[in-house]
Structure 1
Amino acid sequence: MFVEQINSYPVKYPDGMSARVADWPTMPAHSRHQGVLTFQEYGDRVFAPYISAQLEKSSRIDLVWDVYLPASLKASTRQKRGKGTRKRVAPSTVMPKNWKDFLRCDENKTDLFAFLSRRVVHLPLAEGKELYATDGSGVLCSPAESYLACLAPCSQEEADTRLLLHVADAVQKGCKKVTIRTVDTDVVVLAVASFSKIAPDELWVAFGVGSSFRYIAVHEIVATMNPTKCLTLPVLHAFTGCDTVSAFAGRGKKTAWETWKSFPEVTGAFNYLLCMPREVSEGSMLLLERFVVLMYDRTSESIEVLKLHALGSCPVLFFANKGRSGEIRGDLVHHFGNADGFVREILLK
């Protein structure tokens, strides 16, 4: 089972990795380091040595940063977390004492990412080594003559989707064993969905932190799954709650996966939604309703989804055969609209 496989892989580093692609929460830039006075020291004493150490394990390193667009779906979410104090990032600038406050300001992170990218691309590289670092919509690289047409300019805001572009580019350039370093479940889902198109020999996800850290063998997961299920996995992931989409109350990913296994007919609806239609067809909506019913009651024969009460922006769902009332197809359509928006965001870019 997909969920069980994610939890079953050991911490041992896979041998023979030719490329490593990492998003920023996994890098030293995500945490404050004691004894570092200025951003110049931070780049020289913390970040550059980290990248050099990674290059000893792989022939290619890609650093992928988020881009912060004011009109994006994520902007309002970031605003709710509070806005940090603006601080200029320059070599001689003293490091902020409150690192979390510093990272709450999108402009600070944008400047920091640009500063670090420009620092590491000037590292001396051994022959056969390559380094790529995103810089806004562009990409900086070393050696400078590297072909970048497949990577830039890029309109993607989230690093989790942009990571896969860098994986595809690495594979096209001969790196057949690739590791993605991330703490985001979305990346695991996208890696499974994209694997057959990218076609590496091996694709690993170095996932999590601390005691929950694991290496996930995406190629092994894909080998055990139906190809259509692999492709439609992002739809299930979005529909059952992720990122900017609310989850169904009391029902997590494991329940959703088990329900999908027992009700494979909904795959047709997921596949239909993968085509991003303007409206959901009646047949697909009936399958989605039935899927939600089964998430809450495997013995139910009803296809009607009824409202019990609301939790946040997502309704808690129950069924007609439990004696509840108040049809909420409209709420389910609204929920799908949120999920569809997320799927469009990750698949169209």
Structure 2
Amino acid sequence: MREIPASFGNISKKILQTFTRCTAGTVIVTFDEYFSPSIKDNEHTLRGTNRSQRYQIKGPDQVRPADFLSELRNINFKESLVSFLIEDWKNQEMVTFFKNKTVYVNYKNCYKFLEVNGAVVRTEDENKACPAHEEADTKVIFHACQVEPDSNVLIRCSDTDILVIALGNMQHLKENVRLWLKVGVGNAERFINVSKLYESLGPDLCQALPGFHAFTGCDFNPAFFKKGKKRPLTILQNSTDFIEAFSKLKNYPDIETQIFDILERFVCCIYGLKKFTDVNEARLSIFAKSFKCNDIEETFKIKTKNFDGSILPPCKSELRQQILRCAYISSIWSNAYRQNPTVLSPSNCGWQEIRDKLEFRWFEGDQLPTSVSEVLIKDHSNINDSDANIQIDNEEYDEETTHNQVSTSEDSDEEDISCLMESFRSGEDVLSSIFD
């Protein structure tokens, strides 16, 4: 809303008017819930979203806070506002907005509003409730999968996640349901035919996208520093092994151990090291390009003042935690059509609870060697050149290197879809642009 009314009652009317002024016979409004602890705790911290002072809306005449948008960062305020809307919309003065429409509001429960004999009637629909869903993104897709056959569904959003979740659940839509996304505003407004995009990309790739999107960085999971999504997407599209591995992540823990090895090889590829299948060896290769000895007897000298650890891929221990988090997120996104999308626990999938918040478990085990003896070759007399060095990319590097811990960037590099639809020419072009 460009102009926010002064009172909560008028805010309520304006929001409802915005939702119901379309020509659709059924309107579904979904809101986020705020679980505690939550896998979004880290993202809430980065955005400045928190549970500060409690807020109570006593009635429609109450004046809103002066800085309304800033107050929306207070989770308590947002929860109070949504609860007020649900109560206020059942008042009889709202009846004009419900004529010839059925409105569903999905929050902690699913509320159904409609006009009957000139009065507003509000009921609860347990079949359309999905209290196990934390995000509005998955709730939207859950409702889309409940729509009757031979229907047109239009989703208004500006979030990459919804497109990915929609593509990953297209096979669960009822017969002849056509799905569209409306993105952008004004001259930048665009419509994405998700059904046509699904046909263009194919079901196999679409089912791999939730896992891929979570793996390469999203609101819940850190990204690989400066690797983005466009090039990794190209690598994914060119490999049936990678597509199959990402598709199966949603079935964790009932997945083959080889999937971890395949995704490890995928990481080596996005770092430009296609000959490698082990991330630890890939790290050594990159490190050795700056710190290598031409002779085993040569004194170790640092040839550069600093070494940027962010250029290294994560070590095997870190990568395993990234894959576990990806499996958890993929389980939720790929099963958005279900009322209970996952039975997995975040504590077993790459997070740990600290002070009532879920934080990333970056790795397991010791970060550094427990003693110097673990990284020393005690006796060189019986070691020849082939034993003391490893062969990587036709170059020999010293096997003894320091272990440099890498933290992946927490920026998901996501951009507003509305700015990216200019390149909408084919299914592949659209997806590549969205992940750029």
Match among 336, 342, 345 for residue 323 of structure 2: 336
Alignment of structure 1 residues 177-192 onto 2, 5 Å: 177-192=152-167
Question: Does residue 223 of structure 2 align to residue 247 of structure 1?
Answer: yes
User: Which whole-Å CA distance do the structure 2 matches of 1:215 and 1:273 have between them?
Assistant: 30
| Aligned match of 1:87 | 55
In the TM superposition, residue 211 of structure 1 has moved relative to its aligned partner by 6.0
Alignment of structure 1 residues 108-147 onto 2, 5 Å: 108-121=77-90, 122-124=94-96, 128-142=100-114, 144=121
Q: Percent identity?
A: 23
Contact persistence 1:87–1:102 (CA under 8 A) = no
| Aligned match of 1:19 | none
Contact persistence 1:232–1:267 (CA under 8 A) = yes
In the TM superposition, residue 128 of structure 1 has moved relative to its aligned partner by 4.3
Q: What code does the residue aligned with 1:223 have?
A: E
Secondary structure of the equivalent of 1:110?
A: helix
Match among 245, 249, 254 for residue 273 of structure 1: 249
| Aligned match of 2:214 | 238
Secondary structure of the equivalent of 2:172?
A: helix
User: Which whole-Å CA distance do the structure 2 matches of 1:282 and 1:319 have between them?
Assistant: 24
| Aligned match of 2:34 | 68
In the TM superposition, residue 306 of structure 1 has moved relative to its aligned partner by 3.5
User: Which whole-Å CA distance do the structure 1 matches of 2:286 and 2:42 have between them?
Assistant: 39
| Aligned match of 1:160 | 137
In the TM superposition, residue 127 of structure 1 has moved relative to its aligned partner by 5.9
In the TM superposition, residue 185 of structure 1 has moved relative to its aligned partner by 0.9
Structure 1 unmatched runs, 5+: 1-27, 308-316
| Aligned match of 2:195 | 219
Relative distance call for 1:43 and 1:272 in structure 2 (3 A) is closer
Question: Does residue 28 of structure 2 align to residue 58 of structure 1?
Answer: no
Q: For 1:3-48, what per-residue CA distance to the aligned partner results, in whole angstroms no more than 9, with x for missing partners?
A: xxxxxxxxxxxxxxxxxxxxxxxxx4xx6x34x221112223x223
Question: Does residue 275 of structure 2 align to residue 301 of structure 1?
Answer: yes
> Greater Rg, structure 1 or structure 2?
2
Structure 2 unmatched runs, 5+: 116-120, 292-311, 336-340, 343-436
Contact persistence 1:207–1:213 (CA under 8 A) = yes
Relative distance call for 1:275 and 1:52 in structure 2 (3 A) is closer
Q: For 1:275-320, what per-residue CA distance to the aligned partner results, in whole angstroms no more than 9, with x for missing partners?
A: 1216x644212211111111121x732212238xxxxxxxxx7574
The number of equivalent residue pairs is 302
User: Which whole-Å CA distance do the structure 2 matches of 1:302 and 1:37 have between them?
Assistant: 61
Q: For 1:189-213, what per-residue CA distance to the aligned partner results, in whole angstroms no more than 9, with x for missing partners?
A: 0111111211343201112456654
Could you tell me the TM-score, scaled by structure 2's length? 0.62
User: Which whole-Å CA distance do the structure 1 matches of 2:243 and 2:211 have between them?
Assistant: 10
| Aligned match of 2:417 | none
User: Which whole-Å CA distance do the structure 1 matches of 2:186 and 2:288 have between them?
Assistant: 46
Relative distance call for 1:82 and 1:217 in structure 2 (3 A) is closer
| Aligned match of 2:358 | none
User: Which whole-Å CA distance do the structure 2 matches of 1:300 and 1:154 have between them?
Assistant: 44
Contact persistence 1:293–1:319 (CA under 8 A) = no
Q: What code does the residue aligned with 2:210 have?
A: P
Could you tell me the TM-score, scaled by structure 1's length? 0.77
Q: For 1:74-125, what per-residue CA distance to the aligned partner results, in whole angstroms no more than 9, with x for missing partners?
A: 2343245154554322312111101133111112111111222333454335
User: Which whole-Å CA distance do the structure 1 matches of 2:284 and 2:191 have between them?
Assistant: 40
User: Which whole-Å CA distance do the structure 2 matches of 1:48 and 1:304 have between them?
Assistant: 54
Secondary structure of the equivalent of 1:178?
A: strand
